[in-house]
Amino acid sequence: MPLYLLPLFPLIGFVLLICFGRAFRGALGGVIGSVAVAASFVVALLLVLNLSGPTHEVLWTWLPNMAQNSNLKVGLYLDRLSAMMCLIITGIGTLIHIYSISYMRGDRRYTRFFAFLNFFVAMMLILVLADSYPLMFVGWEGVGMASYLLIGFWYSGRNSEQSAGALREASDQEGVANSNAARKAFIMNRVGDLGFMLGMFLMYKAYGTLVIPELMQQGEALAQAGRSVIELMCLFLLVGAIGKSGQLPLTTWLPDAMAGPTPVSALIHAATMVTAGVYLISRTHFLYDLAPGASLWVAWVGGLTALYGAISALNQYDIKKILAYSTVSQLGYMFMAVGLHSYTAGLFHLLTHAFFKALLFLAAGAVIHALHEQQDVREMGGLHRRMPFAHLVSLAGVLAISGIPIWSGFFSKDSILTSAYEQNLPLYLIGLLVALLTAFYMGRWYFLVWRGEYRGHAHPHESDAVINAPLGVLAALATLGGFLNIPGFLGGSQALSRWLSAAVPFEAHELAISTEWGLTIAAVAAGVLGLLGAFLLYRRQAITDVPLRELSRNSLYLDQLYDTVFNRPARGIAGGLDLMDRGVDGTVQGIGENVGAVGHVFTFWQSGFVRSYAVSMLLGTVVLVGYWAVKALGGLG
């Protein structure tokens, strides 16, 4: 089965929905979008089941290189790494599409929403299937575009056509905020893209090719480019990965991206696109293996981001922002793992995180829906009685992300912490602290939303089956996903890691079994302690702020710092230029007006009366003819 079918189906869905959107009434657009992605999922499943070795498929050539007579080809490459990504993208994508059929019902731009989602899935598949960095960059920019379009999806607010004045005004303000969030994401990602491009240029200069399988075949021979060059390449690529994955210091766009509809938050800003950074580094492992310095950078960026996200999530009030900072933090874990060359651990966490974070976002969406767009956790509480199903699946998500045994997060987090302990003790301690904080803020989230008494004014109700079915599937995956990769000391064989080891290096832990048990007990203890702490704090009174209140609510003042360092000087320069522009403009305008005034003097000649023009013509003719006559007759004398 040809690989190009994978991105083709969603692309067809996109073209259909964007060009003939008006033809699809009601939920039909959503069904078409879902079917397109589901078809891709079936293809991905068939491909993975029949995958014996890496498949490389060349489609056509582009970007001609006259000098070396070696044109770059558009090719798709499927190995176990990209196969796993394809399954995540199409599988979770299908669930989220189905969920959106009901969630987005009644939206004015319903069909358009599914067109964008399909476009996103197609681009994401191109990103992971690309056989060369430039093609990966095409997908990379495509998903950035889709993310931009979907963050700003409600660019005019949700009630812009309401007649009530106050409601419309609030909606207008919301629209401006949404558009700004979209722009912020777009611009911060451009900074990262510069890094990606510089990395590509350097790689081309050093090796003369950007085709990933060719680079991989060179193996150790890649080292001849020199250590410093490879380190620089990897650092540039890291900048690109940081931009897409919302890591420090380019992290502030990801929480703002929650302005988009909730399915978008689940699909793009939790499960797939933001993990592209982790994918890029895993895909480029052959270079990172030769660059210990850059790898250490990756690990530390990840560790610090994990801590930053966890601290920021502690005191948020928005039900989705808590989850957004949590995503930042969990992505930090993945970076930490791939930075420590434990690619399989990082990718395993990527997989389980996709399950449980998509689940949590969709459950939050169900809550937001039931409470009529209320997103403030202070206005929630006690929802477990009114929405028992959503409560149950959320509980699964919380237990998974907190690393409670048998739920998937436990296995993946544990394998990251184990490899961190093995290689870098400070990072391990940070990771353990983050695990504690994660369990605590997720406990806070859980108790504020689901337990206690209801504090809002809406009438919450259980969602319909179209929303609940994907939630149920994701809850099952989040609960059982960990069993794909049971570590050795628990009697498993690390099946997923071994399966992935055909594509990325596999690191067997060389720790004593007793140490592994100790690490696991410490990690579980952190999770239990965090949940217990949240339980004790929020059991009696609903809204208690935890330590680091202001610091955490303002996410360590990073936005304010950027405002001071970048925005204010930029605004100053812009103001100066504006003043100058107005000066130049005024001068030009003044010249124009003066010329106009002179011209105006002559307009009194233009009376508009045809007959007076005729008279002046006659007089002129008489004068001319008289002159010629006098001249012809030899003068007056």
Partner 1 sequence: MTPTSAYIALSGILFAIGMFGVMTRRTAVMVFLSVELMLNAANLSLVAFARAWGDLTAQTAVFIVMTLAAAEVAIGLAIIVAIFRKRETTNVDQLASLKG
Sites of contact with partner 1 (CB under 8 A): 600, 602-611, 614-615, 618
CA-closest candidate to residue 416, choices 405, 430, 406: 430
Q: Provide the angle, in degrees to the nearest 10, between the axes of the packed helices 80-103 and 276-283.
A: 170
DSSP letter assigned to residue 75: E
CB closer to partner 1, 52 vs 606: 606
DSSP label at 59? E
Q: Is-contact 100 30, C-beta < 8 A?
A: yes
The contacts of residue 156 (CB under 8 Å, 6+ apart) are 171, 172, 175
Q: What is the Cα Rg of the chain in Å?
A: 31
Residue 599 CB, nearest approach to partner 1 (Å): 9
Q: Which is nearer to partner 1, 19 or 615 (CB)?
A: 615
Closest among 297, 386, 381, 285 to 80, alpha carbons compared? 285
Instruction: Report the residue number, 573 or 618, with the smaller CB distance to partner 1.
Output: 618
What is the separation of C-alpha 364 from the centre of its chain, rounded to a whole number of angstroms? Answer: 18
Cβ contact 549:315 at 8 Å: yes
- Give, as one character, the DSSP assignment of residue 273: G
Q: How far is the CB of 604 from partner 1 (least distance, A)?
A: 7
Q: Which amino acid is at 636?
A: L
Least Å distance, CB 609 to partner 1, is 5
Q: Which is nearer to partner 1, 60 or 602 (CB)?
A: 602
CB of 588 to partner 1, least distance (A): 24
Q: How far is the CB of 607 from partner 1 (least distance, A)?
A: 5
Smallest separation (angstroms) from partner 1 to the CB of 193: 56
Q: How far is CA 168 from CA 112, 164, 368, 607, in A?
A: 23, 6, 20, 53
Of 46 and 614, which has the nearer Cβ to partner 1?
A: 614
Question: What would the two tokens of residue 196 be?
Answer: 């990606």
Considering the complex, state which of residue 221 and residue 610 has its C-beta at the smaller distance from partner 1: 610
Closest separation in Å from C-beta 11 to partner 1: 53
Give the nearest distance from C-beta 596 to partner 1 in angstroms: 12
- Which residues are CB-neighbours of 75 under 8 A, at least 6 positions away? 56, 57, 58, 59, 130, 131, 132, 135, 211
The nearer residue to partner 1, 543 or 618, going by C-beta atoms, is: 618
Tell me the two tokens of residue 38: 């589901």
Q: For residues 60 and 609, which CB has a smaller minimum distance to partner 1 in the complex?
A: 609
* Number of neighbouring beta carbons within 10 Å of residue 397: 30
